[in-house]
Amino acid sequence: MSRPATRRRVIAALAGGTAAVVALVGCVQSDRDEPAAGGEGGDVDSTFVFAASADPASLDPAFASDGESFRVSRQIFEGLVGVEAGTADPAPLLAESWEQSDDGLSYTFQLQDGVTFHDGTDFDATAVCANFDRWYNFTGVAQAESMAYYYTSLFKGYADSPEDAVYDSCAVDDDLVATVTLAQPFAGFISALSLPAFAMQSPAALEEFGADDVGGTEEAPTLSEYANGHPVGTGPFQFEAWERGAQLELSAYGDYWGDQGQVQEIIFRVIDDPTARRQALEAGDIDGYDLVSPADASALEEDGYLIESRDPFTILYLGMNQQVPELQDPRVRQAITMAIDRDQLVSQTLPEGTEVANQFIPPSVAGYNDDITEYAYDPDAARALLADAGYPDGFTVQFNYPTNVSRPYMPNPEEIFTNLSAQLEEVGITVDPQPNAWSPDYLDRIQGGADHGLHLLGWTGDYNDTDNFLGVFFGSQSNEWGFDNQQLFDDLAAARAEPDLDAQIPLYEAINEEVATFAPGVPLAHPAPSLAFSERVESYPTSPVNDEVFNLIELSS
């Protein structure tokens, strides 16, 4: 295959005219490697190049929590539980089915037959228990939030701290039947297993490449040999090579138990600048990239590129810090809520597919309250409430927003800020703009102290778990919100401790209503993150929780 772009470059080099280049040009034309024409692809170029925003932090998903690590591990690994296509709901994957015991503590998994790891090891009940026991036995540095973030936050304790542990034991009942027993109820257990952090890894490879040797000193944890270059899972793609800072290559695993699909080779290229990603797509150097800014999305779509939006699993909100005296008054907070026309904000600044929010969880999450009390847009009522609260002429408040950042829930903070501050000024609230670089200046200002007022922040859910939204926002006293509402903290703790999923729903519905009346902030929107692809990409399996495996990509010739 020869690509027109390359030829044009060669011509350019000729025009440039140095003798060395002229000599090389002949070679470029004649020696160029033909990419391996692959499998079912036929005349389709089966190499798929995707621009990542950074290197993965680790190739061992148990020690990762960042999106780029998970994007790669979703190709290599699979968990017992997957996600139903296009939703956030758990679905069978390596486990065909499961049953929960009557006491709610034991889960028996019937495993998929005929699955092998990329190193030839059989996937069976022994492998399942090896993985659970591995996580439970992490020690020292491995337990830190910078390493086993998800295990620490969801399963709490380890073998050396069994009093807090959620996990108890794993038993091999049969070759393909494993039973996991928990020490305390965990309603979100099955959902949580869909996280890449709990994917099944080859016990043989984990052992051979010392996956648990989190080396270095206490102060400087280093990654294991496994996490640096020997990840072995059951997924449709196996690891080939990783040139840090440049690219990571995967190839199709010939013995994959599921549908292999068209893509035979994946190359993740690291391009950290969003503009550079767009330009690489336009120049034909990559096939796709994530987190397209709304302005770029419409321009690219006009030029014939494929834009795919994920169903929103996000929340963008305007936070209010109650350490600011004016914001302590619930009437002021309600007035701010009523001063904002969310429909206008969404249509003017946020990407297509974005939904207007009236609570702090997206509609697909359990406990979404359809009958919530709404403070609809009403600038006159807002002015009246402000006057009632003793601010007939309004007041001045700090408005913090981050710059030069694009989060899945906040693709363009500057524009959102401009839109909102104009709306607030309408009702007499004067905004004192306080921009900061996102990382870590802005984050530190919001989370590390009280020096902030109104601010933009949000969250993208990891998996279908209500506590993953409401609990992290309002579960305890925090610098961000600056309030102390024991009732709310207690209600959230009670809902979290409820072992039965069905019984949890009404509790969370009630909490959503409680939050709406308390108005700690304004839930603004559920933005839909979008991806852009070259013309040859026919379809891409978007997932609200980013469970996107590239064997489902369809390419045209």
Partner 1 sequence: MLRVIGKRLLLLVPTLVGLSLLLFLWVRALPGGPATALLGERATPEAVERINALYGFDRPLWEQYVTYMGRLLTGDFGVSIETGRPVLEEFARRFPATLELATFAILFAVLIGVPLGYLAAKHYGRAIDHGSVVLSLLGIVVPVFFLAFILKYLFAVQLGWFPPDGRQDPRIDATHFTGFWVLDGFLTGELDAAGDAFLHLVLPGIALGTIPLAIIVRITRASVLDVLGADYVRTARSKGILESTIRDRFVLRNAMLPVVTTIGLQVGLLISGAVLTETVFAFSGVGQFLASAIFSRDFPVLQGFILFIAVGYALINLVVDVSYSFIDPRVRVQ
Residues numbered 400-429 forming contacts with partner 1, rule: CB under 8 A: 407
CB 478 within 8 A of CB 447: yes
Please give the Cα distance from 254 to 264 (Å, whole number). Answer: 10
CB 237 within 8 A of CB 251: yes
Please give the Cα distance from 363 to 367 (Å, whole number). Answer: 9
Residue 276 touches partner 1, criterion: CB under 8 A? yes
Choose which of 347, 447, 539, 556 interacts with partner 1 (CB under 8 A). 447
CB 200 within 8 A of CB 180: no
Residue 459 touches partner 1, criterion: CB under 8 A? yes
Q: CB of residue 18 vs partner 1: minimum separation in angstroms?
A: 9
Q: Interaction with partner 1 in 225-244: which residues (CB under 8 A)?
A: 227-228, 243-244
Q: How many residues bind partner 1 (CB under 8 A)?
A: 78
Q: Interaction with partner 1 in 138-167: which residues (CB under 8 A)?
A: 141, 144-146
Residue 172 touches partner 1, criterion: CB under 8 A? no
CB 369 within 8 A of CB 514: no
CB 99 within 8 A of CB 83: no
Choose which of 444, 500, 535, 538 interacts with partner 1 (CB under 8 A). 444
Please give the Cα distance from 48 to 251 (Å, whole number). Answer: 10
Q: CB of residue 512 vs partner 1: minimum separation in angstroms?
A: 19
Q: Interaction with partner 1 in 11-50: which residues (CB under 8 A)?
A: 11-13, 15-16, 20-21, 24-25, 27-28, 30-33, 35, 47, 49
Residue 458 touches partner 1, criterion: CB under 8 A? yes
Q: Interaction with partner 1 in 110-129: which residues (CB under 8 A)?
A: none
CB of 5 or CB of 376, closer to partner 1? 5
CB of 105 or CB of 281, closer to partner 1? 281
CB of 422 or CB of 493, closer to partner 1? 493
Choose which of 119, 168, 213, 285 interacts with partner 1 (CB under 8 A). 285
Six token digits for residue 208: 């051979």
Q: Interaction with partner 1 in 50-69: which residues (CB under 8 A)?
A: 54-55, 57-58
CA–centroid distance for 1 within its chain? 36
Six token digits for residue 283: 């120049």
Q: Interaction with partner 1 in 371-400: which residues (CB under 8 A)?
A: none
CB of 79 or CB of 471, closer to partner 1? 471
Please give the Cα distance from 555 to 557 (Å, whole number). Answer: 7
Stretch that binds partner 1, among 70-78, 252-260, 267-275, 517-525 (CB under 8 A): 267-275
Q: CB of residue 446 vs partner 1: minimum separation in angstroms?
A: 8
| Length of the chain counted residue by residue | 557
Please give the Cα distance from 100 to 103 (Å, whole number). Answer: 8
Q: CB of residue 145 vs partner 1: minimum separation in angstroms?
A: 5
Q: Collect contacts of 403-407 with beta carbons under 8 A, ≥24 apart.
A: 403/435, 403/436, 403/437, 403/438, 403/442, 404/437, 404/438, 405/437, 405/438, 405/439, 405/442, 406/274, 406/291, 406/293, 407/291, 407/458, 407/460
Stretch that binds partner 1, among 85-93, 440-448, 483-491, 533-541 (CB under 8 A): 440-448
Q: CB of residue 182 vs partner 1: minimum separation in angstroms?
A: 24
Please give the Cα distance from 345 to 328 (Å, whole number). Answer: 25
Q: Interaction with partner 1 in 471-510: which residues (CB under 8 A)?
A: 472, 476, 478-479
Stretch that binds partner 1, among 262-270, 289-297, 349-357, 364-372 (CB under 8 A): 262-270
Q: CB of residue 24 vs partner 1: minimum separation in angstroms?
A: 4
CB of 123 or CB of 481, closer to partner 1? 481
Type of residue numbered 81: V
CB 430 within 8 A of CB 396: yes
Q: CB of residue 503 vs partner 1: minimum separation in angstroms?
A: 26
SS3 of 401, please? strand
